[in-house]
Amino acid sequence: MSVISVFHGIFCNQEAVVQSLLRRTGYRLMTDANVLAKAAKHSGTSESRISRAFSAKPSVFNPFTHEKERAIAYLRLAMAELVVQEDKFLFQGYCGQLIPREVGHCLQLCLIADLKFRLGQAWKEKGLSENEALKIIRKEDEDRSAWVETLFQKKDPWDPSLYDIVIPTDKTDPEEAARLVEKHLGRDVLRTTTESRRAAQDFLLAAQVGVALAKEGHDVGVAAREGKVTLTINKHVVLLSRLEEELKSIVAPLPGVRSVETRIGQGFHQADIYRKYNFEVPSKVLLVDDEREFVQTLSERLLLREMGSAVAYDGESALSLIQEDEPEVMILDLKMPGIDGIEVLRRVKQSHPDVEVIILTGHGSEADRETCMQLGAFAYLQKPVDIDLLSRKLKEANEKIRKKKGNR
């Protein structure tokens, strides 16, 4: 049986269309929540962290952690398992976009409407004013645009080339839309065939390979066809042959893989550098210091040691960034304008106790040291600091974090 994937804008009367489709076809409804649950189970990561892959605003640490790409790898695996194991279901949400077009028995449906209609629906469904509705619509459309650009390098989430059918719900009532989709389901091109089943199995194998690579810290494109796996490197690599050998050593032993080849993608010659995620060092380090030149230099020196960092120049900014992008380790100065370092440490340990905090100051006293250690600081260091000593403390903090996570 065919699969229906529904991608839509918010306030496009999508729920009425979906319910009508479910009644007419007898299909079972699946959503992003189902896929998130499976992806979280595979990855050992919370559903809320994986769901950040749907947001247009990636973590500031993402260039070092590949957190979004790793989340998508697990979402792709969960979706591939669903496509291979399930029949006769309607998928509503972001993850339906992960199904390759080669899986011919999947009908890709897009529901969208003009802005005037969506504003009216926002009032009808939620009682929202025009300004309130505009804010929500723009945010939701921004997320959908970023998702589509990540997957297809297209900025328009409603691009007709991405779908089998695009239905303007401001001009089509739900029953008419459902009849149109049902009519398409009857076409021979959407029937499940041996070829489309094989494409679904290829989708699953590619997803399994993607997760195996993500577990080792790699981020490359993956395609599979009847056991032949192609890996695409889209970022510049200094030692390309060594990377190719490492990738092949990870992929070749996997069940179902008959052969592995690597190739260079379009992004290889751009300035972006390929960075493997290194699990031995923290890649989410937050530097908090109002001495801009010092903190920028420190950030560059940490990067040379494969430690990715973000920078905040005051306590308020640091606390805000922690709420949005929880770092693993914070390097914190004590003397700053506004909220001082001791108060930042106190608040961080109250709200995010798993964040390890290294105090790095040029103005602290022995009393400050005792206060910071009592509040839960991991270490207390003085400026100027030896970079090797700081690196060692960062690695020790990272090891503590990894052990703590492993015991949960």
Instruction: Give the residue-averaged pLDDT of 248-276.
Output: 84
What pLDDT was estimated at residue 173?
95
Q: Following DSSP, what letter does each residue of 167-234 receive, concatenated?
A: EETTTS-HHHHHHHHHHHHTSGGGS--HHHHHHHHHHHHHHHHHHHHHHTT---EEEEETTEEEEEE-
Has residue 73 got a pLDDT over 80? yes
Percent of the chain with pLDDT over 70: 97
Q: What is the DSSP letter of 236?
A: B
Residues 390, 321, single domain; the answer is: yes
Has residue 268 got a pLDDT over 70? no
Q: How far is CA 207 from CA 7, 196, 214, in A?
A: 21, 16, 10
3-class state of residue 398 by DSSP: helix
What pLDDT was estimated at residue 192?
85
In degrees and rounded to multiples of 5, residue 359 shows phi and psi of -80, 130
Residues 308, 395, single domain; the answer is: yes
Residue 195 lies in a domain: no
Has residue 337 got a pLDDT over 90? no
Residue recorded with tokens 């028995």: 105
The rounded Cα 398 to chain-centroid distance in angstroms is 22
Of 174, 190, 206, the last residue of a domain is 190
Q: How far is CA 232 from CA 77, 224, 291, in A?
A: 18, 11, 41
The pLDDT mean for the chain works out to 92
Phi-psi category of 66—alpha, beta or left, where left has phi over 0 and alpha has psi -120 to 50? left
Residue 196 lies in a domain: no
What pLDDT was estimated at residue 267?
62
What pLDDT was estimated at residue 269?
58
In degrees and rounded to multiples of 5, residue 380 shows phi and psi of -130, 110
Residue recorded with tokens 């703590």: 404
3-class state of residue 38 by DSSP: helix
Of 242, 269, 296, the last residue of a domain is 269
Strand-strand pairing, 28-31 and 3-8: unpaired
Strand-strand pairing, 356-361 and 259-264: unpaired
Instruction: Give the residue-averaged pLDDT of 328-348.
Output: 93
77 close to 222: Cβ distance less than 8 angstroms: no
Q: What is the CATH number of the domain that holds 180?
A: 3.40.50.300
Residues 179, 315, single domain; the answer is: no
Of 159-163, 173-177, 269-273, 276-280, give the lowest mean pLDDT range: 269-273
Class of residue 301 by CB neighbours under 10 A (exposed 0-12, middle 13-18, buried 19+) = middle
- Report the alpha-carbon distance of residue 143 to residue 92 in Å, rounded: 16
3-class state of residue 326 by DSSP: coil
Residues 141, 289, single domain; the answer is: no
Instruction: Give the residue-averaged pLDDT of 134-162.
Output: 96
pLDDT-derived band at 50, boundaries 50, 70, 90: very high
Q: Following DSSP, what letter does each residue of 113-132 receive, concatenated?
A: --HHHHHHHHHHHH---HHH
Residue 203 lies in a domain: no
Q: What is the CATH number of the domain that holds 354?
A: 3.40.50.2300
Sheet containing strand 221-225, edge to edge, reads 221-225, 228-233, 259-264
pLDDT-derived band at 66, boundaries 50, 70, 90: confident
Residue type at 77 in one-letter notation: L
Residues 20, 117, single domain; the answer is: yes
Residue 280 lies in a domain: no
Residues 258, 313, single domain; the answer is: no
Q: How does pLDDT run across 16-41, given as a tens digit for each residue?
A: 999 999 999 999 999 999 999 999 99
C-alpha dihedral sign at 327, 331, 337, 342 = positive
Residues 337, 262, single domain; the answer is: no
* Distance in Å from the first CA to the final CA of the chain: 41
Residues 265, 376, single domain; the answer is: no
What pLDDT was estimated at residue 106?
94
pLDDT-derived band at 407, boundaries 50, 70, 90: low
Q: How far is CA 94 from CA 32, 360, 392, in A?
A: 7, 43, 41
Residue 274 lies in a domain: no
Has residue 67 got a pLDDT over 70? yes
Number of Cβ atoms within 10 Å of the Cβ of 42? 16
Residues 52, 152, single domain; the answer is: yes
Q: How does pLDDT run across 208-254, given as a tens digit for each residue?
A: 999 999 999 999 999 999 999 999 998 887 788 999 999 999 999 99
Q: Look up the domain containing 76 and give its range.
A: 3-190
Number of domains in the chain: 3
pLDDT-derived band at 364, boundaries 50, 70, 90: confident
Q: What is the DSSP letter of 261?
A: E
pLDDT-derived band at 324, boundaries 50, 70, 90: confident
Percent of the chain with pLDDT over 90: 77
Residues 147, 230, single domain; the answer is: no
Residue 164 lies in a domain: yes
Has residue 408 got a pLDDT over 70? no
Q: How does pLDDT run across 394-403, given as a tens digit for each residue?
A: 999 999 988 8
Residue type at 3 in one-letter notation: V
Residue 209 lies in a domain: no
- Report the alpha-carbon distance of residue 377 to residue 357 in Å, rounded: 5
Has residue 279 got a pLDDT over 60? yes
What pLDDT was estimated at residue 1?
64
Strand-strand pairing, 106-112 and 221-225: unpaired
pLDDT-derived band at 43, boundaries 50, 70, 90: very high
Greatest CA separation found in the chain?
79
